[in-house]
């Protein structure tokens, strides 16, 4: 239909208001249209709270009967924390439902659409599907792979260095780029760094945007529990900190770090295996991880094939030096045939820097 895209675009905008705060649920938007007039809209804002369709139908009130509902994700058909939205749409007596994309959740997949069609509702699927899939890439990945979505982020000079030879890295990029990093943090459930980054930079790993934003869990890979007590991630209580350690760290040492916001999580092996870690995090309902370095940690994620998106900032500066670190260090790949190949999704200028967003090529 002629206006489907326009209303769906609005539904996507509405859905975006919930981004970063709906985990482990997707961000969803719904718009109710009657006789060419928008009579209701709504977004899912938090797990456990009403779904987008419920808000939109409530706002529309009596006008919802016979209306068309635009929804960015297939309406749910199962009893979760709230009753199924497909039932609500049927009971309300809407005439038509336009859906951007189907729900990969095996509990829902296709069943919501079926329910609507069985009730005689006219259903259209696939309007602005690409945009809707992009919006919920974290949720879709988590649901289908049962591991968190991993975004690898780094900021480097134009000659590809993430710090000087002495380890100084404050600051490589402009303030605008650093602000952009904070909005990425707010979108993820967890931020992860290696213990060397904590020792070198003592980052706070919190979200500091003028408009606020929730703080993700701070995760430190620290096999032997070397994180200094005075580190910001231990001393400030603004966010939870999870210290991931190997199986050999003595209990007495762990006890030293006892604080309400600090958790020490030992792995089952002496070293931290990235795949195992991701499975463990998924069990803890962590749906996304923003990996902020350093270079060894990046290498481990790349080697484990555990990267879904790369966000790289390039500053117009030359740092130079053989001993200055690059974004991905560690062991690297030996042959070009084995390297991680990427597709560039977006390039933007941000402040004085360039931002590149890339995703691994599907082989």
Q: Is residue 76 close enough to count as binding Zn ion by CB under 5 A?
A: yes
d(CA 16, CA 50): 16
**Cβ pair 239, 206 in contact under 8 A:** yes
* Binding residue (CB under 6 A) for ligand NDP from 40, 148, 194, 216: 194
Helix, strand or coil for residue 16? helix
Q: Is residue 165 close enough to count as binding ligand NDP by CB under 6 A?
A: no
Distance of alpha carbon 99 from the chain centroid? 23
**Cβ pair 347, 354 in contact under 8 A:** yes
Tell me whether residue 238 is one of the annotated catalytic residues. no
Kindly indicate which of the ranges 74-82, 127-135, 230-238, 271-279 contains the residues binding Zn ion, using the contact rule CB under 5 A.
Answer: 74-82
d(CA 96, CA 276): 45
Using the minimum distance from each CB to ligand NDP, give the nearer residue, 164 or 235: 164
List the catalytic residue out of 53, 74, 292, 309.
Answer: 53
Kindly indicate which of the ranges 50-58, 108-116, 252-260, 351-359 contains the residues binding Zn ion, using the contact rule CB under 5 A.
Answer: 50-58
Where in 124-163 is the site for ligand NDP (CB under 6 A)?
154-156, 162-163
Q: Which does residue 76 bind out of Zn ion, ligand NDP, none, counting CB within 5 to 8 angstroms by kind?
A: Zn ion
**Cβ pair 294, 247 in contact under 8 A:** no
Q: Is residue 85 close enough to count as binding Zn ion by CB under 5 A?
A: yes
The sign of the torsion formed by the CA atoms of 67, 72, 75, 79 equals negative
Other CB atoms within 10 A of residue 332 CB: 13
d(CA 337, CA 150): 23
Q: Is residue 51 close enough to count as binding Zn ion by CB under 5 A?
A: yes
DSSP state of 297: H
Instruction: Read off the tokens for 260.
Output: 């309400």
**Cβ pair 262, 241 in contact under 8 A:** yes
Where in 267-326 is the site for ligand NDP (CB under 6 A)?
272, 274, 292-297, 300, 325
Q: State the chain's maximal CA–CA distance in angstroms.
A: 70
Q: Which does residue 163 bind out of Zn ion, ligand NDP, none, counting CB within 5 to 8 angstroms by kind?
A: ligand NDP
Q: Is residue 233 close enough to count as binding ligand NDP by CB under 6 A?
A: no
Closest of 198, 150, 207, 158 to residue 180, by C-alpha: 207
Q: Is residue 34 close enough to count as binding Zn ion by CB under 5 A?
A: no
Using the minimum distance from each CB to ligand NDP, give the nearer residue, 10 or 257: 257
Using the minimum distance from each CB to ligand NDP, give the nearer residue, 223 or 287: 223
Residues in the site for Zn ion, rule: CB under 5 A? 51, 76, 85
Residues in the site for ligand NDP, rule: CB under 6 A? 154-156, 162-163, 167, 169, 172, 193-197, 200-201, 221-224, 226, 272, 274, 292-297, 300, 325, 329
Active site residues: 53
């Amino acid at each position: 239909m002629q206006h489907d895209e326009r209303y769906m675009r609005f539904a996507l905008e509405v859905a975006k208001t919930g981004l970063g705060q709906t985990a482990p649920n997707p961000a969803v938007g719904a718009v109710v249209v009657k006789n060419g007039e928008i009579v209701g809209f709504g977004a899912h804002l938090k797990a456990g709270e009403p779904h987008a369709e419920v808000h939109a139908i409530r706002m529309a009130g009596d006008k919802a009967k016979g209306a068309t509902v635009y929804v960015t994700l297939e309406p749910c058909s199962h009893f979760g924390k709230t009753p199924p939205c497909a039932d609500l749409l049927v009971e309300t007596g809407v005439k038509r439902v336009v859906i951007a994309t189907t729900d990969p959740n095996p509990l829902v997949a296709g069943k919501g659409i079926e329910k609507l069609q069985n009730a005689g509702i006219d259903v259209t699927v696939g309007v602005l599907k690409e945009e809707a899939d992009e919006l919920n890439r974290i949720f879709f990945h988590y649901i289908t792979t049962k591991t968190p979505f991993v975004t690898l982020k780094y900021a480097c000079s134009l000659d590809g260095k993430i710090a000087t030879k002495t380890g100084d890295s404050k600051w490589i990029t402009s303030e605008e780029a650093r602000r952009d990093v904070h909005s990425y943090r707010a979108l993820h459930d967890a931020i992860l760094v290696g213990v060397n980054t904590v020792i070198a930079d003592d980052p706070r790993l919190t979200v500091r945007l003028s408009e606020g934003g929730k703080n993700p869990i701070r995760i430190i890979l620290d096999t032997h529990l070397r994180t200094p007590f005075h580190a910001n991630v231990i001393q400030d209580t603004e966010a939870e900190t999870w210290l991931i350690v190997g199986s050999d760290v003595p209990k007495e040492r762990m006890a030293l770090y006892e604080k309400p916001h600090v958790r020490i999580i030992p792995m089952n092996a002496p070293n931290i295996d990235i795949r195992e870690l991701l499975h463990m995090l998924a069990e803890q309902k962590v749906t996304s991880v923003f990996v902020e370095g350093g270079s060894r940690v990046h290498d481990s994620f790349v080697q484990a094939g555990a990267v879904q998106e790369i966000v790289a900032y390039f500053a117009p500066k030359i740092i130079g030096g053989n001993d200055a670190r690059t974004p991905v260090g560690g062991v690297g790949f030996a042959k070009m045939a084995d390297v991680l190949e990427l597709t560039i999704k977006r390039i933007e200028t941000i402040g004085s820097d360039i931002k590149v967003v890339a995703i691994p090529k599907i082989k």
